[in-house]
Amino acid sequence: MQVDDTRPIWVQLVEEFRRRIVTGQWAPESRVPSVRELAQEAGVNPNTVQRALAELDRAGLTATERTSGRFVTADAGVVEAIRRELAMGAARAYRDDASAVGLDLDRAVDLLTECWPGASGADAGDHDDNQDDSDEH
């Protein structure tokens, strides 16, 4: 796990832990690694990890059981809401970037479809990001 100095570390940890939950890396009802393990993995203070995990508890993504540790929620609705939130953030970032280089919605969707895994022609856009696209010039 890489942390950078541009944003609070605990916020970066929350983002990473949420990603692990929505991707299933931390499965529903599974035990979350200990604060000590996560702090060692990230190379940060355990108090910073505890702050991030408390935020997951507050959001309903995890729950702490006194004697057995912290567990990922079994509530698929909570996980799906976070997945949608993360996806909307990515979609907005793509929209802003595509708009900044002059793409309209149709062209932005075409490019996204072109590079989407499993979509027709998906591999065409992955191998050469500097490929000349004559209708863009």
Whether residue 111 is contained in a domain is answered as: yes
Any idea what DSSP says for residue 71?
Answer: E
Whether residue 131 is contained in a domain is answered as: no
Whether residue 97 is contained in a domain is answered as: yes
Identify any residues that bridge with 63 across adjacent strands, giving them in sequence order: 71
Note the pLDDT of residue 4: 80
Whether residue 132 is contained in a domain is answered as: no
| Secondary structure of residue 24 in the 3-state scheme | coil
Whether residue 36 is contained in a domain is answered as: yes
Identify any residues that bridge with 45 across adjacent strands, giving them in sequence order: none
Does one domain contain both 50 and 69? Answer: yes
Q: Is the pLDDT of residue 64 over 60?
A: yes
Q: Is the pLDDT of residue 134 over 50?
A: no
pLDDT bin (cut points 50, 70, 90) of residue 43 is very high
Note the pLDDT of residue 123: 53
- Does the predicted TM-score (pTM) go above 0.85? no
Whether residue 42 is contained in a domain is answered as: yes
CB 28 within 8 A of CB 72: yes
Does one domain contain both 21 and 66? Answer: yes
Any idea what DSSP says for residue 31?
Answer: B
